[in-house]
Amino acid sequence: MKQKIVIIDYHTGNILSVFKAMNQFRGIVVEVSNNPQVIESADKIILPGVGHFGKAMESLTQLGLVETLNKHVLIQKKPVLGICLGMQLMATSSEEGNCAGLNWVPGHVKRIQTTYSLRYKIPHTGWNTLKQQHRSPMLKMITPDDEFYFVHAYHFEVDDAAHALCSTSYEHEFVSGVENAHIFGVQFHPEKSHDQGLQLFRNFINL
């Protein structure tokens, strides 16, 4: 039986590009849905996202997805990958909207602060590299020279450094990936990061 990966649709951007990227892999079934029955059938979950933290949490709540996701991620322990805002939603809280998150990875989302605003503009947009913080199957075959595409104005400050999967420098170093057991998140967009982005998706599939 093919592995099934469900991309959560909670009315945010970049869902189609994630779907297209995942559909390049053989041996898996990829579906976009917010239907609890479809999510129930998933082997793994992807939580994408572009936009405002507070509005995204409101959308998850209105769709009844918070309870559904908690069931599958926290109780059934299905592997999950959060992308950009999807990663930030895994935090305890965020300054953006001043509201609580899913609290899957203890920490807080804060606006990026830079000293040299002419050089380091907010949002941080463009290509950057990763510094691996600990060995992980999620970063298999990814090298320090590989560049990934970022676009974000907020960053994730983890409470426990052990949950920092990788970091990136943009004037200051910030956490660009998190890992807490079967829970993974990346601040960058693998679906827009060419071959190295596909490698990260491949690693998630192969967990």
Q: How confident is the model at residue 149 (pLDDT cuts 50, 70, 90)?
A: very high
> Are the beta carbons of 132 and 147 closer than 8 angstroms?
no
Q: What is the pLDDT of residue 13?
A: 76
- Catalytic one of 84, 163, 166, 179: 84
Provide mean pLDDT across the span 29-55.
97
Known active-site residue 173: no
What is the average pLDDT value for the chain, to the nearest integer?
97
For residues 18 and 129, what is the distance between their CA atoms, to the nearest angstrom?
20
Torsional class of 54: left (φ above 0), alpha (ψ -120 to 50), beta (otherwise): alpha
**What is the tens place of the pLDDT at every residue in 168-183?**
999 999 999 999 999 9
CB 31, CB 70: distance < 8 Å: no
* DSSP letter string, 121-164: -SSEEEEEE-EE-S--GGGTT--TT-EEEEEESEEEEESSGGGE
pTM over 0.85: yes
Mean pLDDT of 158-165: 98
Selection from 144, 134, 192 nearest residue 169 by Cα: 144
Catalytic one of 124, 152, 155, 189: 189
Rounded mean pLDDT, 143-156 = 97
Residue 42 pLDDT > 80, yes or no? yes
Total domains, the chain: 1
Nearest-angstrom CA–CA distance, 121 and 137: 32
Tell me what pLDDT residue 118 has: 84
Domain carrying residue 12: 3-205
At 101, is the pLDDT very low, low, confident or very high (cuts 50, 70, 90)? very high
Q: What is the dihedral of CA 59, 65, 66, 68, to 10 degrees?
A: 180
Tell me what the mean pLDDT of segment 186-200 comes to: 98
- Which domain CATH number covers 114? 3.40.50.880
E-strand ranges in the chain read 3-8, 28-33, 44-47, 80-83, 93-94, 99-100, 107-111, 124-129, 131-132, 147-152, 154-158, 164-170, 172-180, 183-186
Catalytic residue flag (residue 99): no
Write out pLDDT tens, residues 1-27.
899 999 999 998 789 999 999 999 999
Q: Which of 155, 166, 191, 194 is catalytic?
A: 191
Q: Would you call 67 a catalytic residue per the annotation?
A: no
Residue 182 is classified by DSSP as T
Q: Given this model, what pLDDT does residue 14 score?
A: 80
